[in-house]
Structure 1
């Protein structure tokens, strides 16, 4: 099979830029978990950098456990549920600000275009926040009834409880992991 390259200088195959149902579902759950109201105040997941870092930790539970340990948080393995890496639909790559998935633009475009996620300007910044619409919340609620999403939901709760930080802070945490810091641009992170 011939590998189609989008940009010859990056050598990233075209299929890495495509959305998948698995990616859309995972990001929908993540955005919903971080945009649920707290104390009656509406929230959003603040920016793509934070989204990417949280998604990395969601997809790589052993790295999540190490980040939590590095910041002094002890979590029983049962809360992270299954520290073994699940087969990923695609591995994340190292980019300028750490782990990144080239499919994010397609995934977010699909979620926004289908009315499941909305984008709002963040107050006092030039950034954008992501939150689920009522349709997105309903879909997450219905999908969440399926036991196969229990692990992802448990990890999102751990992320929100202990790592609801700025994208910059999360980036600093990830750069303390050799797998991230020592990788070269466009290299898949293991």
Structure 2
């Protein structure tokens, strides 16, 4: 099982998952066909709390606490990656929980977005950051400004 490489990538994927409007725009800009993104509702409100603009793009200050909690509960494993910082992956119990959530129909719209992220945007954190900086709402935001 492979690791997700670093917090930058995690933050950019999280942003795209939370903000369906931006996910749709990035997917189309990166070559996804309109029929592949038609089920993404661009008017759906962002998930959870709003993210803010930070040095490397969208960021949620709660990442450290959330990651610490997931690691502490044995749901996520962390490992140093040669020259790349840290990698994250689900543990066996975390994978079982994720599977249970994917099977829950109330998460269908999130599961769709997750599949699209994996299929089209499994890129480095820096590549994802560059895609997001093509969006004026991100590029033009000031540090610590809430993103919409």
TM class, shorter-length: over 0.9
Distance apart, 1:70 and its partner CA: 1.7
Unpaired runs of at least 5, structure 2: none
Larger relative CO (CA 8 A, sep 6+): 1 or 2?
2
Q: TM-score, normalised by structure 2?
A: 0.93
Q: Does 1:136 align with 2:94?
A: yes
Q: Does 1:85 align with 2:85?
A: no
1:1-190 equivalence runs, <5 A:
42-76=1-35, 77-80=37-40, 82-122=41-81, 124-190=82-148
Distance apart, 1:75 and its partner CA: 4.0
**2 CA distance for matches of 1:60 and 1:158?**
13
Once the two structures are superposed, what CA deviation does each residue of 1:32-90 show, in whole Å capped at 9, x if it has no partner?
xxxxxxxxxx211110000000000001111111111222222423443x332235321
Give the RMSD, CA atoms, in angstroms: 1.3
Aligned pair count reads: 147
**2 CA distance for matches of 1:89 and 1:79?**
20
Distance apart, 1:161 and its partner CA: 0.5
CA contact (8 A) 2:50 2:147 kept: yes
- Give the structure with higher Rg (CA): 1
**2 CA distance for matches of 1:61 and 1:75?**
14
Select the structure that is richer in strand: 2
Say if 1:98 and 1:55 are closer, same or farther in 2 by CA, change over 3 A: same
